[in-house]
Structure 1
């Protein structure tokens, strides 16, 4: 059997949806197949759940939970996703989605049925072949066009974003079975400053790095990646495709860097006689070592390649035919096993929407057209917004109420509040309050209740239209949870919803700015955002979390209570200006600003809760990556509801505790290994306590067996050695103590005293043990930490005795 260029895939054909049962669920994705498992990440074939529109297959890259504690790795991951979302070109692998689920970060790319150019070249080499020169030039053309599009990408302010690939090689070029060429792996030049230079960055194909990137010391690099260095890399890649050999050789990175900087470059025809002189010239102009003398840009180089290929009569169809001819398999194409499928909306012609005798009868054609180009529940909302401008008030109410009911019945309350906004504008206030209460009641996932609500708001026909025009499973039951909002009883939900408003944010706009005042809480209904801070804050306390400003007290029953700091009059005045009837104005974020990316936010996420509760300035910035709908809740607007509705205050306090401890666990080298569900179980068992300075938290010899996590402040650990107090260690925010008694039971082996005012989370041994038994790798790492601390205690005691003996 001959080797195939493309491996057999059990993916459905275009126009079909994959119906395989998932191996596991991850947020709104079903994971169908694992493609790769690396030290830092895993790669899956994933299927979106389809509720908001189409079922889609995606290549989902997920960071491993333990690696999500690495702030700089997460920052680079988010930065690459943020930039890639802005790149729209047929030759660039598109990013469909990115965010986090349970503290684990992911990027969902379009799924390509194909191989990397490196794999394709290796598969051909095994058969003693290499790509035809025209095919190689055509692939180089597609790469050059993709590079040019990325290099020319501008921000919302009209200024160039400054994107360069910096790691262009055959491993980052995808060749699809149908002949499409996709470049993957774009990132900002600033990314490479954190990776130690191009030779230390683990690039595939070190020889492709441009001379100016290497500098004098190849381990640290020279200049940053630029459009010019990408052109060099593309030229080097074409040279290797044409000759079938590496452009440079070296036994060590130093030797290789020296070759890149100085070894003469022979034209491709020197190794492959008979190549057209025009191809030699095109490669030569891309591989000029002096950046000032190199071809002007990727677009100019692409036009040269286009001119050459025009003389050869070679284009997309010819490349597709070349690949098909090379992709041989003696067993035939029928050996490919396909999964169970059904035809999707993409695989059939759109059916006209029949709305019948409803208030929405006049918009059947408009709805058909809208859902054809914008499938899903948000497509219905966007049509309602257009109808609002046209005066179709009844249509607006029906469409927005239908969308809100569909979202709320899945527990997507942030989505529902944003979708309902159009109805809120046109309906009387008593009716709005009644609708909001019903949305809260729908969040339990009762499908019968949902159908009654759809009938009440005239949405049954609209629901049927959505079913007909999308692949989404709109009959799906089972409620999801929206942080904080899902914990509210109906009365509290209505009060909060009436106090808030929907704001629209353009891509690239700053919602929050680090250091500025503000005390609004935001729930994301639609869109993607990123959280950033200045680098000086990375190694200090987490944005908003560690500057919580809470006054905590313990009641006589031992339960921790949290009291928000009173908002200052200055901040209230600022909020007055923010919550007037004028529309928001948003500053555009300068994408070239040096910063660290802390988190990614998506629909259903909340942010701004710490300033909302405390009135303190923002200690992180939040920027919209795509167009967003946010539900904004200002503290002033909520007013006395926090005191009048205990359930609202309790839900806020519980949400605050969960967020703080979730961040602490995610950064902790031991507990970052916990799966999201186990982490939530641990969170639910922890109590938050305030301890004054100088108080003993844990006393040596006592039999208490709780474990503590430090949220704020410092403690010192000491051991009594025959009446002499031996200093063992000092611990601060994010660290833990009491693990020995929590793991083994028995009396405490050391005392722990608060050096400063202290805020700690406490978990009892009986609550911790089941979680550790279900996560043996976490238990093993905790035991390792325990052994290290026991060794440190013994070493300190021995050292103290030696010192005392000597004196």
Structure 2
């Protein structure tokens, strides 16, 4: 049975609307430092996002994603420092299921991050396109996506520094918009640590506890408190929504919500950001609706543990949840490979995006080649000959006169050549006799 994506929608409508206005004045292709931006992917709450080309030292080119941090954030020294610190922390996360951070810098007044480009969709975009075409997402592919995301989380949670000490990486924003899916069937998690940096500068909407004193000044809230509540409320664990310290189990909870929504075919929490934050604090998750999934009781048991309000009752790690899902997928005959998932995506969507991307990339290549060279005659006084006539006129007369004389001799030359040929033939004939 497939998963109905018709009620799953992107949770950033406002951000997209804001981005649409910015797109009206965004002329592409154009240069940005050493990158050539040729396609505007969109705008999030933190950055304008572009598809770009970057050249290597040996003259090769590769496609990358450039996130231009919004000026109001990039100009905040506190945010810039936290973003740089987090980017350094996750730059060494090299894993098949993690989007690689390639560069972090500043061009003019814009702070930017350059990341690996994944040719495909994020999970939100994929669900919208499936819904538009009335194509259900098969349950085996829904499980595959979550299993691959858990593999990324497990790797990041276990990452250690050079001294062997755990880095304590927590994603903090495991949600469909951060799950990237390539047309080859790859699933990659992006934006590790971004939510923490964002929270250090801009607090989540209405993220205060309900029992907080009304006369307390917002500015007295610590950076640590703001960073702990940053993220999308619809995918927060209860402890995350309350602004408590987090560990990897908060990401396990978020992955559980993604799995619940894919299996249920609808959003778990609905409402404004503040309303969803209040729901997240309670952590009350209803059972899956009956979707006719094989061994659904076993799947429900996995969700119950992943979505337990008490972190101590959850899977202790992403690896434990991954093992449970693997076992369920095998038992329910829902275990699929990346190749099968990639074929499903390519059959339905690849031509739509790739043709558009290639067209805009050709525009970027034209920009890199530079404008065409146009040869224009210089405007200057026309030179004259010693006779006083224009030089062009004098030259034309001379050329005409010299051309006329050889033309009058042409018949005589031809007659002479013919006589010589006849004479040679006679000599040859006499010799042969």
The TM-score normalised by the length of structure 2 is 0.64
Tell me, in whole angstroms, the C-alpha distance in 2 between the residues paired with 1:46 and 1:187: 23
Q: What is the root-mean-square deviation in Å for CA atoms of aligned residues?
A: 3.2
Question: Superposed, which structure 2 residues align to 1:194-273 within 5 Å?
Answer: 194-196=201-203, 200=207, 205-215=232-242, 222-250=243-271, 253=274, 255-262=275-282, 264-268=284-288, 270-273=289-292
1:315 aligned partner: 337
Cα-to-partner distance string for 1:648-669 (whole Å, 9 max, x where unaligned): xxxxxxxxxxxxxxxxxxxxxx
Aligned to 1:70: 76
CA distance in 1, matches of 2:253, 2:51: 33
The alignment's TM-score, normalised by the length of structure 1, stands at 0.36
Change (3 A) 1:115 1:151: same
Cα gap change, 1:39 to 1:137, in 2 (>3 Å): closer
Query: Residue by residue, what CA displacement relative to the aligned partner does 1:636-688 show, whole Å, maximum 9, x if unpaired?
Result: xxxxxxxxxxxxxxxxxxxxxxxxxxxxxxxxxxxxxxxxxxxxxxxxxxxxx
Higher strand content, 1 or 2: 1
- CA displacement, residues 272-298 of structure 1 (integer Å, 9 cap, x when unaligned): 233423322222211111101101100
Give the corresponding residue for 1:324. Answer: 346
Aligned partner of 2:420 in structure 1 is none
Asked whether the equivalents of residues 231 and 286 of structure 1 are also in contact (C-alpha less than 8 Å), the reply is: yes
SS in 2 for 1:230: helix
Counterpart secondary structure, 2:137: coil
After TM superposition, give the deviation of residue 155 of structure 1 in Å: 1.1
Identify the residue that residue 85 of structure 1 maps to in structure 2. Answer: 91
Measured in 1, the distance between the counterparts of 2:87 and 2:175 equals 19
Matches within 5 A, 1:581-596: none
Query: Are the aligned partners of 1:166 and 1:226 in contact in 2 as well (CA < 8 Å)?
Result: no
Which runs of structure 2 are paired with 1:45-64 in the superposition (5 Å)? Answer: 45-51=51-57, 54-64=60-70
Alignment of 1:465-476 (within 5 A): none
Aligned equivalents of 2:73 and 2:353: distance in 1? 43
Deviations along 1:144-175, one digit per CA (max 9) or x if unpaired, are: 00001111111112111111010111111111
> Higher relative contact order by CA 8 Å / sep ≥ 6: 1 or 2?
2
Inter-partner Cα distance in structure 2 for 1:247 and 1:198: 19
Q: 1:305 to 1:28 in 2, by over 3 A?
A: same
> How far does residue 198 in structure 1 lie from its aligned partner after superposition?
8.0
CA distance, structure 2, for counterparts of residue 336 and residue 40 of structure 1: 24
1:167 and 2:182 matched: no
The offset of 1:229, in angstroms, is 0.4
Does residue 286 of structure 1 match 2:313? no
Asked if the contact 1:164–1:227 (Cα under 8 Å) also holds between the matched residues in 2, the reply is yes
Determine the C-alpha separation between the residues in 2 that align with 1:271 and 1:279. 12
Structure 1 gaps of 5+ residues are 1-21, 216-221, 342-472, 474-807
Seen in structure 2, the aligned counterparts of structure 1 residues 226 and 188 have a Cα distance that, compared at 3 Å, is farther
SS in 1 for 2:313: coil
With over 3 angstroms needed to count, the CA separation of the structure-2 counterparts of 1:36 and 1:241, relative to structure 1, is same
Aligned to 1:42: 48
- Please report how far the alpha carbon of residue 315 of structure 1 lies from its aligned counterpart in structure 2 after TM superposition: 1.7
What residue number does 1:274 align with?
A: 293
Q: Following the alignment from structure 1 to structure 2, what is the Cα–Cα distance between the partners of residues 72 and 248?
A: 32
Deviations along 1:4-47, one digit per CA (max 9) or x if unpaired, are xxxxxxxxxxxxxxxxxx83333332333333356863322222
Query: 1:264 Cα deviation (Å)?
Result: 4.3
CA distance in 2, matches of 1:293, 1:62: 40
- How has the CA–CA distance of structure 1 residues 284 and 95 changed in structure 2, closer, same or farther, with 3 Å as cutoff? same
Equivalent runs, 1:344-743 vs 2, <5 Å: none
Cα distance change, pair 231–31 in 1 and its aligned pair in 2 (3 A): same
Matches of 1:213 and 1:107 in 2, distance apart? 26
Q: Counterparts of 1:310 and 1:166 in 2: how far apart (Å)?
A: 30
SS of the residue 1:108 aligns to: strand
CA contact (8 A) 2:79 2:200 kept: no
**Structure 2 gap segments, 5+ residues each:** 1-27, 208-225, 363-367, 369-433
Q: 1:57 offset after TM fit, Å?
A: 1.5
- Alpha-carbon contact 1:133-1:275 (below 8 Å) kept: no
Taking the aligned partners of 2:74 and 2:86, their CA distance within structure 1 comes to 15
Q: Is the 8 A contact 1:83 1:188 kept in 2?
A: no
Matched, 1:152 2:149: no
Q: What displacement does 1:203 show?
A: 6.6
The answer as to whether partners of 1:164 and 1:189 remain within 8 angstroms in 2 is no
Highest CA radius of gyration, 1 or 2? 2
Does residue 1:302 correspond to 2:326, yes or no?
no
Residue deviations 1:168-226 (CA, integer Å, cap 9, x gap): 111111111111111111107854454435864897752211011222xxxxxx21332
Cα distance in 1 between the residues matched to 2:357 and 2:35: 25
